Structure 1
C-alpha cells in the first residue's frame, strides 16, 4: 500500500462522510485525483474501514494491492493500466503482445461495456462494488454514453468514482449525475516536505514546484526525468537563441507544455502581473500581446496532435523556431 499523499487526508475524510453513488474528483493535473479515487475505493471495500480510510491489512486491502479484487473494476486507457500495474483482460493483452494493435490511449467502449456488466453482478465479498474511471476525460462520446445509463439507474450496491484532470471535457450529462469535488491545492510547506521525502533536494524543491505550477506530483516527475532548476531557468534564453537541444530530452507534449508556460508568463508580465512558472529575472522582455496571442493559439493547436506527431524531431524544431521568432518580434509600443 502506497501512503496517501499528505494533502489528501482531509479530502478523503470529507468524501467518506458523503452519501451517494457517483463522485467526480476534479482539478488540475498533479494534485492526486487517481490516488484519492483509489483511496476511496479501498475504504468502501475495506473489511475494517475507519473514518480516515482503509485499514490496509485486511483481505480486501491486500486484494487491491495485488490488483485482483473481484469487486473493483478499474477503467483506464490501456497505456495507463500498464503504467500503474493494472492487468488487462486476456484478449487485449494477447492482441498487444501479438502486435495486432497498440495499447489504447482512450478508455475503450468494450471495457466500458464490461464494466456495465460488472455493475449488474452480485458483490463477491459482500461490501458492494466500485467502478473507478481515470482519467475520465479519456472517454469518447460512445464510451461516455455507455456509462450514462448505468449512472442514471445504478443496479444494486455499486458506487462510481470518476477522476479527471479536465472535467470540462466530460459530457454535461455525466457531470450532472455525479457529486463534484474539486481537489484543494496543497500548501507549499506540505508539498516541499513531501518532495523531500521522495528524495528531491530541498534546494531544488521550490524551483521545481514553481516550474510545475505548484503541482507536487508534476514536480516529482520532472525531478525523476532529469529536470533541473538551472535548466528550467535557462529555457527562455535557449528559446530566444533557437536552441533545439534545450527541449531534446522532452516528448512533444512536454515540450509544448513548457512553451505554454513560457508564453503564459510573458503574457502576465506584459499585463503588469507576476509570472507563475519562471523567475522574472530569467524572462526576456515580452513581445506584443498580438504576437503572444498568436503563439498561444498555435501551441494550443499543436497540443491536439502532440501524442501522435508525424515526426517528433521535426515538430520540436518547428516549435523552437516559432518560439524564437515570437521572442524576437517587436515589443509592444509604449504611449
Structure 2
C-alpha cells in the first residue's frame, strides 16, 4: 500500500480472489476502502459475491463479467489447439481460461478418491476417507468440488442434465432416486460452511470424514 507507482500517478491494488478474504482481513480492508490513501484504487475480483463482507461490497462499483456460452468456449479452445476438453471444461464450470491454464478444482488423486466415494451414495465406506487423503489438499477446493457434485445431483434428481460432472451422468442417475432433496440442500449448506471454515486450522482428514458422512445420510436407507 505504501509503494509509489513507477509509471502512472495512480496506484492500483488488485485483490483476487476477493471472496476468499478472511473476515478479519476484510474488516481491515473495509477501513481502507472507506478512507483510501490518495490516488489509490482497489480492484477486487470474485466469483461468489455473497462471500464478500456486505459492508465492503456496498462500497464497490459492481461489474459483472459473464462467462462465454459453451459453443464460444469450445471454439476458442479449439483455436488454441486443444482437443478432448469437454469434460474438463464442464468441471471448470464452463471457464475456458481455467482449462488453458490447467487449473483443477482438486488434485487428480483427490478427484479419484472423492468420485469413487460420492458415486456409491448410501453405500459410501467412510473408512476409506482418512487413508486416502493426501497432504496439501485445500479444504476450500474440496468444498467447491463437493458443492458442484451436490448441485449436479440436485439437477439430475429434478430431471435435468448435470452441469459439471457430465462424464458421471450414469452414476448420478443411478443414485439420484435414493437422495432426499431436503437433506441434499442441507448438505450443500454444509459444504459452504466447510469452505468458510477452511481459513482456520482444521484436521483435513476429520473434516473430510465429517462432510462425507453427512453426504451418506442424504440417501434414504
Fold equivalence (TM over 0.5)? yes
3-state SS, counterpart of residue 313 of structure 1? helix
Displacement after TM superposition at 1:311 (Å): 1.4
Residue of structure 1 in register with 2:38 after alignment: 155
Q: 2:103 aligned to 218, 221, 233, which one?
A: 221
Using structure 1 for the length normalisation, give the TM-score: 0.49
- Structure showing greater Rg: 1
Per the TM alignment, residue 276 of structure 1 is displaced from its structure 2 partner at its CA by 1.6
Alpha carbons 1:213, 1:277 under 8 Å: kept: yes
User: Does residue 208 in structure 1 map to residue 88 in structure 2?
Assistant: yes
Instruction: Give RMSD over aligned pairs.
Output: 3.7
Q: CA deviation at 1:322?
A: 2.2
Structure 1 residue 185, shift from structure 2 partner: 0.5
Match of 2:156 among 269, 278, 289: 269
Q: Which runs of 5+ in 1 are unaligned?
A: 1-114, 331-335
Gaps of 5+ in 2: none
Name the SS of the counterpart of 2:103 in structure 1. helix
Change (3 A) 1:291 1:212: same
Greater shift in the superposed pair: 243-252 or 134-143:
243-252
Partners of 1:198 and 1:247 lie apart in 2 by 36
Residue-by-residue CA offset, 1:182-238 (whole Å, 9 max, x unaligned): 112024355446667888x622x1111212221234442129943799888655325
Q: Distance in 2 between matches of 1:255 and 1:226?
A: 12
**In 2, Cα distance between the equivalents of 1:129 and 1:145?**
20
Alpha-carbon distance between aligned partners in 2 of 1:263 and 1:293, rounded to the nearest angstrom: 8
Relative to structure 1, the CA distance from residue 238 to residue 269 in structure 2 (aligned partners, 3 Å threshold; closer, same or farther) is: closer
Whether the 8 Å contact between 2:30 and 2:56 is mirrored in structure 1 is yes
2:144 is the counterpart of 1:257: yes
* Correspondence for 1:324: 216
* Contact 2:148–2:164 (Cα < 8 Å) also in 1: yes
| 1:270-320 CA-partner distances (Å, limit 9, x unpaired) | 333332222331211241222213322322222222243431122222222
Q: Secondary structure at the match of 1:277?
A: coil
Instruction: Name the SS for the 1:318 alignment partner.
Output: helix
TM-score, normalisation: structure 2? 0.70
Aligned-pair distance for 1:179?
3.5
Change (3 A) 1:316 1:184: same
Q: Secondary structure at the match of 1:304?
A: helix
Matched, 1:181 2:63: yes
SS in structure 2 at match of 1:184: coil
- Aligned residues of 2:14 and 2:44 also touching (Cα < 8 A): yes
Q: Distance in 1 between matches of 2:51 and 2:210?
A: 28
SS for the counterpart of 2:119 is helix
Q: Secondary structure at the match of 1:182?
A: coil
Matched residue SS, 2:68: coil
